[in-house]
Homo-oligomer: A and B are copies of this chain.
Amino acid sequence: MHYELKGRVDMKKIKLNISYIGTAYCGWQVQPNAVSVQQRVQDAVEKTFGKRYPLTGCSRTDSGVHARSFVCTVELDENANNIPCERIPLVMNRHLPTDIAVRQAEEAEDDFHPRYSCLGKAYEYVFYDSPVRDPFLEGRVAHILPRLDENAMNEAATQIVGNQDFRSFMASGSKIEDTVRTVYDCRVSREGDMVKLYISADGFLYNMVRIIAGTLAEVGHHKRTKEEVRATIDSRDRKNSGQTAPPEGLYLYEVFYRKEKENEEG
């Protein structure tokens, strides 16, 4: 009883919301011989709180993939420098490179886990179909030519929505057995020379968004019909779907959790 109380008092779980440009990194997860986002954030945690505290992320992200909103937690103990939550982004950002930033910090419940508490995620995939490149978008969009038919893509995107087996959109090397996921929303729209795919689901298979993006791009080039997208899903075979679209167009957009207040604590 004493220890449990002590544990509760001394441990503090901080939920961090971070943004990063993935270009320079091998993804979130620490890997040998490559620089990861996690490594950079871990270094900033050490400089900010005085010690190397455990850091847990909501997902791996692939090499070169960006995040508008990535959630991770830091577990501090009683020895950690005491910094009010609203000051944490300012302090940590001083210790982070310019392509990574902590956007928000708040105290999380003891049982909150960035990955296991996650109810779903949203991604955005951005194509750029201007014949000439824009230096301000370099590395942040996937160039594609000829022009995409975004209406055909949006029509076909309706096939992706629902509780289905998405095996056709899973990277062939992946070992996952249960390939059924629920896609809540999948839509395509144009903003000038950018064609944006927004997709939210309870979970994603490895490379799922990029393979869906590559498949819908074929629809945008009238090389595949909406009905063929339906048939591709039903075939449950990676061979029938399109290419994996390049990482620079992909953004982890939002990570969904239960609202704090609704949390029922045991």
Pairwise interchain contact A135-B102, C-beta atoms closer than 8 A: no
Q: State how many angstroms separate the Cβ of A136 from the closest Cβ of chain B.
A: 6
Q: Which of B101, B104, B135 contacts A100 (CB 8 A)?
A: B135
Q: Determine whether A103 belongs to the interface, using a CB cutoff of 8 Å to chain B.
A: yes
Give the distance in Å from the alpha carbon of A21 to the alpha carbon of B135 in the complex. Answer: 7
Q: Which of B20, B131, B132, B138 contacts A135 (CB 8 A)?
A: B20
* A residues contacting the other copy or chain, number (CB 8 A): 24
Most interface-central of A93, A132, A140 (chain B CB within 10 A): A132
Chain B contacts for A68, CB-based, 8 A: 136
CB-CB under 8 A from A140, the residues of chain B are 136
Asked if A63 is at the interface of the complex by the 8 Å CB criterion, the answer is no
Contacts of A214 in B (CB 8 A): none
CB distance from A188 to the nearest CB of B (A): 22
Shortest A193–chain B CB gap in Å is 11
Bound form: Cα–Cα A131–B104 in Å: 10
In whole angstroms, what is the CA distance A89 to B100 when docked? 33
* B99:A138 contact, CB within 8 angstroms: yes
Q: Is A90's CB under 8 angstroms from B132's CB?
A: yes
> Is there a chain B Cβ closer than 8 Å to A203's Cβ?
no
Are the C-beta atoms of B132 and A103 separated by less than 8 Å?
A: yes
Q: Is A120 an interface residue (CB 8 A)?
A: no
Select from chain B the residue with minimum beta-carbon distance to A19.
B135
- Answer yes or no: A133 CB below 8 A from chain B CBs: yes
The reply to whether B93 and A132 form a contact with Cβ atoms under 8 Å apart is yes
Q: Does the CB pair B134–A19 fall under 8 Å? A: yes
Q: How far is the CB of A150 from chain B (nearest CB, A)?
A: 22
- CB-CB < 8 A to A246: which residues of B? none
Name 6 A/B residue pairs within 8 A (Cβ), A-sorted. A19-B136, A90-B132, A98-B139, A100-B135, A101-B133, A101-B135
The 10 A-B pairs at the shortest CB distance, nearest first, are namely: A98-B138, A89-B132, A101-B135, A99-B135, A101-B133, A21-B135, A19-B135, A103-B132, A20-B135, A93-B133
